[in-house]
Amino acid sequence: MTDEYGALQIHTVEPVDARTAVCVVRCVGGVVRPGQVYDGGRLRLEAIDRYGRGVDLVDPPHSAKVRLSGDGVARLRARSVIATHGPRRYGYVGPPDIRRAAQGAPVGRAVRTAGDFAAWVGEQDPRDLAEPFTYVVDGEGFLRLAPRRSEHVACAGGAAVAGAGEVAFRRTGDGRWRAGYVSNQSTGYCPDPDSWPAVAAALDRAGLARPGDGFTHEVVFRHCGACAELNVVHEGHFVCVFCDADLPVA
């Protein structure tokens, strides 16, 4: 069994028996290999097939057909995201003075269930709901929300996070709440776009409809090894805008 991180978005599910299913999936994070265990140990990835032949791995953003086994097969649904245990964590990398100023500030409200979100949204001024809120995904995989322009490091209580950015909510025609805008815009934590599975899973736990394929606004951050400045990478151009040095691709 491998402990390498991987995340899959399910597109279709074909049950084979009560404990086995063949699924068409897309890799949305890390590297996916046979032998990985997903969904808190309830699923094991047995095999990967691409274009009619078995392969040893699949990485973002590629799709494949996989065979999954275990007690979690009954829980598989189209558009759900499953991940291996222990998703990537992002530590705070922003200015130290902002971290110091955030000490003692209120931690973001934890939203573990749909009931938690209903209670939180009922306390908000309707005018504020037109704008994005600060969010993080905490170490337990739950969404935490704070007012817009709050520092992410304060929202997280200074801890490492599985995801961070801004999120805006709106009601759908059937009265449900939906995360209509979700970004990974956090210069304090600089999460990669492959933090999406952790964010998607947290939104799912909170009972919120969400975009199916990734962030609605996606940012690629890189710190320059030569001048230490933070860059936002545009159109795959990994060159520092401050000193013209090459930026790390990974």
pLDDT, tens digit (0-9, with 9 covering 90-100), for 110-136: 999 999 999 999 999 988 998 999 999
pLDDT, tens digit (0-9, with 9 covering 90-100), for 99-109: 999 998 999 99
Tell me, what's the pLDDT at 1? 42
Length of the chain: 250
Across 208-230, average pLDDT: 90
Report d(CA 209, CA 200) in Å as an integer. 9
Q: Residues 126-137, buried b or exposed e (16+ Cβ, 10 A)? A: eeeeeebbbbbb
SS3 at position 74? helix
**CA dist 60 to 7, 54, 87, 178, 193, Å?**
9, 17, 15, 25, 11
In this predicted structure, the answer to whether residue 30 has a pLDDT above a threshold of 80 is no
SS3 at position 57? coil
Q: How confident is the model at residue 87 (pLDDT cuts 50, 70, 90)?
A: low
Task: Write the Ramachandran bin of 175: left for phi over 0, alpha for psi from -120 to 50, otherwise beta.
Answer: left
Across 145-171, average pLDDT: 94
pTM: 0.67
Tell me, what's the pLDDT at 86? 62
Percent of the chain with pLDDT strictly greater than 70: 97
In this predicted structure, the answer to whether residue 216 has a pLDDT above a threshold of 80 is yes
Residue 53, token pair as written in the block: 């032949």
Tell me, what's the pLDDT at 113? 93
In this predicted structure, the answer to whether residue 205 has a pLDDT above a threshold of 50 is yes
Give the chain's mean pLDDT. 90
Instruction: For strands 6-17 and 81-83, give the pairing.
Output: antiparallel
Q: How confident is the model at residue 238 (pLDDT cuts 50, 70, 90)?
A: very high
Alpha helices in 123-207 (DSSP H): 152-155, 196-205
Residue appearing with tokens 């200074």: 158
Find the range with the poorest average confidence among 6-10, 59-63, 82-86, 109-113: 82-86
User: Residues 218, 224, 227, 232: what is their CA dihedral angle, to the nearest 10 degrees?
Assistant: -10
Report the run of H or E that residue 134 belongs to, with start and end: strand 133-137
Backbone angles phi, psi at 30, to 5 degrees: 65, -150
Across 176-197, average pLDDT: 93
Report d(CA 11, CA 2) in Å as an integer. 24
